[in-house]
Amino acid sequence: MAREKKDPQDLSIEEKLKNLYQLQTMLSEIDKIKTLRGELPLEVQDLEDEIEGLTTRIERMQADKQSLQEEISHRRVTIQDNNSNMERYNQQLENVRNNREYENLTKEIEYLQLDNQLNEKKIREAQNAMESKQEEIRRCSDNVTERRDALDVKKSELDEIISETRAEEEKLRERSKALELTIEPRLLSSFKRIRKNSRNGLGIVYVQRDACGGCFNKIPPQRQLDIRMRKKIIVCEYCGRIMIDPELAGVELNKPAEEKPKRRRRKTSEKKEED
């Protein structure tokens, strides 16, 4: 007959703490696997972000370059129109009837000449800007190529590490999820919150050398006794981690060897008297 599973809330404090420590052990193993990947996931993400930024910059510069090209074309059309107008005004100068018409036509021609000079200057500036944009596009494109090569290498390394540890990690995750079902939701939620806020990912620790195994602050003897009794869940008053005794954690601590009583040596004077 199949053994009926206990409700997590019906478990004793000792059973709850034991299940919680087993869960911590599995999660710590998963953390070790993640540590094997090192900074590779972050490096991959940084390279992808950098490539995306460079690509966006190239697209923006290409748009600027297109805008400059359109400006050059527009100014060249304006110069052609000005030249046509100046030719027409020069022809009209031959048929002027008074000084006023002559001065007006002369001023129009001078204005068009100045406008042509300005447009030619703006065309040269735009051409220089286009050359600068083109050089920047080339440099950014080279950087993108380098970053993509580096990204391929990093991704290859990361995929290799993930493939080597995927099976073990999935197995640990399945076991940890199954174990979570044996822990009451309120306690599990508190444990996950403590674990998230701790630097080393430890939410439950055992007493080591009369101190908390997480923050290493001293624990009073009475509190250590309460922990060994396993009658209630006790947390460290300094770091907030849940604490258990080493025996429940399956850890054997080396006890200091008992010192043998020293043999008392008789005084030299007493030894001489006996002789």
Residues 224-242: tens digit of each pLDDT: 999 999 999 999 999 999 9
- Tens digits of per-residue pLDDT, 172-220? 889 999 888 888 889 999 999 999 888 888 999 999 999 999 999 999 9
CA angle 42, 48, 52 (to 5 degrees): 145
DSSP labels for 154-165?
A: HHHHHHHHHHHH
Residue 256 has a pLDDT of 47
CA angle 90, 96, 97 (to 5 degrees): 175
Q: 244 vs 265, which has greater pLDDT?
A: 244
- Tens digits of per-residue pLDDT, 126-168? 999 999 999 999 999 999 999 999 999 999 888 888 887 888 8
- Tens digits of per-residue pLDDT, 76-120? 999 999 999 999 999 998 888 888 989 999 999 999 999 999 999
Residue 35 CA: distances (Å) to CA of 123, 161, 176? 58, 11, 18
CA angle 46, 36, 208 (to 5 degrees): 125
Q: What is the 3-state secondary structure (H, E, C) of 216-272?
A: CCECCHHHHHHHHHCCCCEECCCCCCEEECCCCCCCCCCCCCCCCCCCCCCCHHHHH
Classify each residue of 211-231 as buried b or exposed e, where b means 16 or more C-beta atoms within 10 Å of its C-beta. Answer: bbbbeeeebeeeebebbeebe
Q: How confident is the model at residue 249 (pLDDT cuts 50, 70, 90)?
A: confident
- Tens digits of per-residue pLDDT, 116-137? 999 999 999 999 999 999 999 9
What phi and psi values does residue 12 have, to the nearest 5 degrees? -75, 165
What stretches of 37-98 show up as alpha helix (H) in DSSP? Answer: 40-93
What stretches of 181-212 show up as alpha helix (H) in DSSP? Answer: 185-197
Locate 256 and state its tokens: 């200091």
pLDDT over 70 at 1, yes or no? no
Question: What integer best gives the mean pLDDT of the chain?
Answer: 86
Residue 265 has a pLDDT of 55
Proportion of the chain in helix, strand, coil states, percent, rounded to 5: 70, 5, 25
Taken in order of first residue, the domains within the chain and their CATH numbers are: 36-178 (1.10.287.1490), 185-244 (no CATH)
Q: Write down the residue that tokens 């391929």 correspond to.
A: 152
Q: How confident is the model at residue 254 (pLDDT cuts 50, 70, 90)?
A: low
What phi and psi values does residue 11 have, to the nearest 5 degrees? -70, 155
Residue 159 has a pLDDT of 86
What phi and psi values does residue 206 have, to the nearest 5 degrees? -105, 160
Do the Cβ atoms of 215 and 198 come closer than 8 Å? no
Q: What is the mean pLDDT of residues 250-261?
A: 58
Q: What are residue 235's DSSP bridge partners?
A: 242
